[in-house]
Structure 1
Amino acid sequence: MKIIDKETIDTVLKYDNLIEALRQVFQSTFTMPVRHHHFYQNTEGIENTLILMPSWTDTYIGIKQVVVAPGNHSKNLPAIHALYTLLDAVTGEFLAQMDAAGLTSRRTACTSALAASYLAREDSKTLLIVGGGKVAQHLAQAHSVVRQYDQILIWTRNASKGADVVSSLQQIGFSKMLYADNLEEAVRRADVISCATLSHEPLVKGEWIKAGTHLDLIGSHTPKTREVDDMAILKSSIFVDSRAGAIHETGELAIPIASGILDPNSIKGDIKELCCGEIKGRSSLKEITLFKSAGLAIEDLAAALLVYEHVILSAHV
């Protein structure tokens, strides 16, 4: 069994290739059971989440094991720790294990970009990223593959952290990066808004969102947390990565469904239906679209296979 480190993953997973790999896997046949969520209180009284995410095709099985620890920000540690295991579906042989934190961040950002390729206006010029974690840096790069932005804004609660994100992206060639110190003003300007936070309460208000905007919501990962308010939900045409996950696992949709604000039957479709052309994406320039991502195990398998196949090919050169 091969052990694949984070450095290899970061080198191999190019944004354009991963976006296309995700598109292809959503167009293929696969099996993806509902993932297992287990919530537990750690010794500090903070609720952590253990997530087990299996998926498979005719040839490969993948399993991701994740712990989400929101309190890690105070320890200068990542909020997400994860390990990915790849197996041969025919023999059951363990083929590889790899650090899944970087894998998760990149596939999450690239899935958002893939959805935006169907849902964001083609003339979108301003991207706003809300959040300053690892995913935020990948979001700027992934979304820039599918749309040509004149300006990319970053907003974080901690201005210093946001400035660091801007600086790091500028250093790798993203000269159009700017820190936004006023969230409302940034939302009102943005054509695409991508939120990747651990916020428990809505940050983005529907009254701020202009016609034609695309909302990409990543951060809400429990039924108790959300990043936008009810008005944003009411104004939007809603798409999801999967109905089973997004409706029940995320407060973004579970809370307004429980209160009667949102009818789950009004959800337009999922990412597989978009990729297969079974449903239409954006229908007008003024439509506000919303993509809610809970994260899918098949996305991890697509990313892991890109890495594994590169390692195997490199070993035979």
Structure 2
Amino acid sequence: MHVFDAAAVHAALPWPFLIEALRKAHLGDMPASEVVVQSDPAGGEAQFVTLPGWAPGGPIVVKMVGVFPQNASLTPPQPAVQGLVALFDGKTGGPLLAADGAAMTARKTAADSALGAAILARQDVEELLIVGAGALAPHFAAAHLAARPTLRRVAIWNRTAARAEAVAVQLREQDIDATVSGDLDAAVARADVVSCVTMSDTALVKGALLRPGTHLDLVGAYLPTLREADDAALMRGTIFVDSRNNMRGGGDLSQAVASGAITWDAVKADLFELVQGKREGRVSADQITVFKNNGGAHLDLFTASALSQALG
């Protein structure tokens, strides 16, 4: 059995390789998957999540991660999501590999959104806005740049400017043109691609400010109580999701449905339908596209399988 620490995971899964691996994986059927969520028995906001997934005739994955939002305030900060991902042989049940959960989560989550941008964003996008400066932010910037090479500039916004600057410095060390934006509304109005990676419980992105042709990537609102974009953003945009299986759990869509701003029929396609050509993606340069990244064990399975393939 192979064991991958965080550095080995990142080294083995370069963005172009992983994005293409996810694209190919979506040509097949949705694996069987489950989600088991346990809340802190002491009453805290932390959760522990177990996600098993099993591809028909293929491997089995089990992701075991803690979600500890307070980790960002630790000294030094730690990822809010960390744990382990294990891959097993689907025929014998034998273990094939174990990998660092935080690194695998960062890699698969960013590549999921990057695949969405590769399909849905305009061909001539130039400015990327990352909303949020947590552990995932630099990965999302790099993944989007790999998916859309025309992107030339990255702006980072965060409620705490110092954290945004730390991410910008990290990106500049990779020769990425990255700056901090102090005005979220102005940054949204300028951006061609807006990627939200926060745990906000109030809408941050105002749909009225989105330029025609913008691609909006919503990632962080994985609970019904969380929200990253307002109703106007969802009403103005054409909505796509990574998976229809998981789309009702996040706050961005479920709150907009509850308010009557949209119905579930507003979701035009998921990645399986887009990759397989069953549904149409972007149809015009002025269309605003909204991609809701919900995650799921199937993506952990696809990413762990790609990691296994990288072994040769």
* TM bin (shorter chain): over 0.9
- Cα distance, 1:150 vs structure 2: 2.4
Who is 1:152 aligned against? 154
Who is 1:72 aligned against? 71
Paired residue type of 2:22: L
Who is 1:253 aligned against? 253
Who is 1:278 aligned against? 278
- SS of alignment partner, residue 134 of structure 1: coil
Aligned mates of 2:144, 2:273 — CA distance in 1: 20
Who is 1:300 aligned against? 300
Aligned mates of 1:30, 1:282 — CA distance in 2: 23
Paired residue type of 1:66: V
- Cα distance, 1:29 vs structure 2: 3.3
Who is 1:20 aligned against? 20
- Cα distance, 1:296 vs structure 2: 2.2
Aligned mates of 1:82, 1:27 — CA distance in 2: 29
- Cα distance, 1:255 vs structure 2: 1.1
Aligned mates of 2:35, 2:82 — CA distance in 1: 17
Aligned mates of 1:115, 1:161 — CA distance in 2: 26
- Cα distance, 1:84 vs structure 2: 0.6
- SS of alignment partner, residue 32 of structure 2: coil
Who is 1:166 aligned against? 168
- SS of alignment partner, residue 136 of structure 2: helix
Q: Deviations over 1:72-109 (max 9, x none)?
A: 22222221112111111101112221111111111111
- Cα distance, 1:163 vs structure 2: 0.7
TM-score by length of 2: 0.94
- Cα distance, 1:41 vs structure 2: 3.9
- SS of alignment partner, residue 303 of structure 1: helix
Aligned mates of 2:231, 2:109 — CA distance in 1: 24
- Cα distance, 1:196 vs structure 2: 0.3
Paired residue type of 2:158: T
Who is 2:47 aligned against? 49
TM-score by length of 1: 0.93
Q: Deviations over 1:237-279 (max 9, x none)?
A: 10011122122x1011111112222200121010111111111
- Corresponding position: 1:128 with 2:126: no
Q: 1:42 to 1:128 in 2, by over 3 A?
A: farther
**Structure 2 segments unaligned to the other structure (5+ residues):** none
- Cα distance, 1:192 vs structure 2: 0.6
> 1:216·1:290 contact (CA, 8 Å) conserved in 2?
yes
Paired residue type of 2:294: A
Matches for 1:137-148 after TM superposition, within 5 Å: 137-147=138-148, 148=150
> 1:105·1:135 contact (CA, 8 Å) conserved in 2?
yes
> 2:72·2:134 contact (CA, 8 Å) conserved in 1?
no
- SS of alignment partner, residue 247 of structure 2: helix
- SS of alignment partner, residue 47 of structure 1: coil
- SS of alignment partner, residue 268 of structure 1: strand
Matches for 1:61-210 after TM superposition, within 5 Å: 61-75=60-74, 76-147=77-148, 148-174=150-176, 176-210=177-211
Q: Deviations over 1:132-181 (max 9, x none)?
A: 1121101111111222112111111111111111111111121x211111
Q: 1:133 to 1:42 in 2, by over 3 A?
A: farther
Aligned mates of 1:234, 1:26 — CA distance in 2: 27
Q: 1:182 to 1:125 in 2, by over 3 A?
A: same
Q: Which deviates more, 165-174 or 25-34?
A: 25-34
Displacement over 3 Å in runs of 4+: none
Count of residue correspondences: 308
Aligned mates of 2:309, 2:213 — CA distance in 1: 40
Who is 1:35 aligned against? 35
- Corresponding position: 1:240 with 2:238: no
Q: Which deviates more, 252-261 or 12-21?
A: 252-261
Q: Which deviates more, 80-89 or 65-74?
A: 65-74
- Cα distance, 1:208 vs structure 2: 1.4
Q: 1:205 to 1:120 in 2, by over 3 A?
A: same
Paired residue type of 1:172: Q
- Cα distance, 1:42 vs structure 2: 5.8
Who is 1:218 aligned against? 219
Who is 1:291 aligned against? 291
Aligned mates of 1:30, 1:204 — CA distance in 2: 31
CA RMSD of aligned residues (A): 1.5
Paired residue type of 1:31: P
